Amino acid sequence: MGKNKIFCSVDAMQYPEVEEWLNAVTDKKSTRQGYARYMSLFLEFSKLTPNLMLEIKRQGVKEGNVKTELESKMVNFLRQLEDKYAPGTVVVARMALSSFLAFHGFQVPKKFIRLPIASVKVIRVPEQNEVEAMINYAGSLVAKSLLTVAAEVPCRPRVFMAVQWSWLEPGWEEKDIAHIQIPPSFRPKEPGPKKFEPMAYVGKRGIVALKQIKAKRGEASGRIFPYTPEWFQITPTRIYWRAVAAKAIRASREDEQLITLKSFRKYVFNVIDEIRGEISPEWRNMLKGRDLGVEKYYSKAYIEKLREVYRSKIYPLIWKQEVTVDEKKLQLDMARKVLAMAGIDADQVLRSMPHIVDIGEQLKLLDEQIKTLGLRHRPDGGMAITAADKEALIGFARFLKRFAALP
């Protein structure tokens, strides 16, 4: 919904017509909450009640009119939303209103309003160096761990929102590949292509990240990532923009989405597709969560067989040794920031030694300046400066000015 939040003085759930509709329309709590929010907003905007909405449609049917004054109010409401919220929000609001009327047996004209396309952008599938950069630019241990695990486990975001420590198999800390035991509530109830979660495994890097979280918290109970659904949307977006600003990754094209948790899922899917000819279609479907409608797939024998497939075929391709993020470049960027906080232009320092072009040598030069000035990193990523540091900074700044004045 963008940076704006939706507030409303009307609670649509107080009306039995709305409660009956939402209880029947979907089993997803998040969808019910969203639909209730948009219905509340419309009731506040239109000054109507659900019963009056249905009465207007009944009268229209009697008179042979598919389009009524209700559609006119809906158009005005949706146009008002367009001024404040993203296209996707407006489309979902329309879906909510149409769903309510359809549930109660009333048709809504298909073309009663033309809205911007909610999302024609393709999911951006990151390269490994971009995955590494996103992890490196994550601001907290939990965020780094989330992205690390997401790069190894191609589950939908809903799984990461719900995953608990108890889902990890016993002895997971000592394994190189640990099975995540997704509860039956996340398993398919019948064969089909939609909303299937894969057989989930987390590898060495993910296990190390989870162990770090456990050590920091001192316990391993409840949800691993105990945050709101919004956190799982906002956090990857913030990390993405941070990495783009640092030029660690490229900005998405106009026809691409930002890098999100869905992007990480597609990243693993691409790895699985890369070895299409090396594993059976059955294993591939299980790794991607396709057509899993038989309970035998969750048996111990299948779990162990697929663990070996993941260990030998999938995991090595997720973290290819020959494709890694340029750690020296990241360290060079950090050194620039440390000097910048001290009022020193790192580029000017490098220009004072034009013969140094290797990134490693440039990093060494900046590190020497940081040590010479006595600058120190604080645990929070900032910098501590003593009185002696300040005197050294003044002297170094004078040197830079003299250098800049040279012909």
Interatomic CA distance for residues 122 and 139, integer angstroms: 27
* Coil, helix or strand at residue 228: coil
DSSP 241-283: HHHHHTTSSPPPPTTBPPP-HHHHHHHHHHHHHHTTTTS-HHH
Q: Are residues 145 and 289 in the same domain?
A: yes
What pLDDT sits at residue 281?
A: 81
- Between the CA of residue 29 and those of 8, 10, 22, 34, 222, what are the distances in Å? 19, 20, 9, 9, 20
Neighbours of 240 (CB within 10 A): 23
Question: For the chain, what is the domain count?
Answer: 3
- Does residue 121 lie within any of the structural domains? no
Q: Are residues 82 and 147 in the same domain?
A: no
- Does residue 3 lie within any of the structural domains? no
Q: Are residues 197 and 148 in the same domain?
A: yes
- Does residue 6 lie within any of the structural domains? no
pLDDT per residue, tens digit, the chain (407 aa), is 433 445 578 899 999 999 999 988 887 787 888 899 899 999 999 999 999 999 998 998 888 877 888 888 998 998 888 877 777 778 888 889 989 988 888 877 666 666 555 445 788 999 999 999 999 999 889 999 999 999 999 998 989 999 999 999 999 999 999 999 888 777 655 554 456 778 889 999 999 999 999 999 988 889 999 998 889 988 999 999 999 998 899 999 888 889 999 999 999 999 998 888 888 887 888 888 765 554 455 677 788 888 999 999 999 999 985 434 455 666 777 777 777 777 788 787 777 776 676 666 777 787 787 777 665 443 344 444 444 554 555 555 555 555 445 44
Interatomic CA distance for residues 150 and 283, integer angstroms: 20
What pLDDT sits at residue 193?
A: 47
CB 25 within 8 A of CB 32: yes
Q: Are residues 261 and 353 in the same domain?
A: no
What pLDDT sits at residue 199?
A: 84
Q: Are residues 333 and 314 in the same domain?
A: no
Q: Which of 291, 318, 345 is the last residue of a domain?
A: 318
Phi first, then psi: what are they for 334, rounded to 5°?
A: -65, -40
The range of the structural domain enclosing residue 352 comes to 327-404
- Does residue 190 lie within any of the structural domains? yes
Assigned token pair, 34:
């969203």
Q: Are residues 273 and 331 in the same domain?
A: no
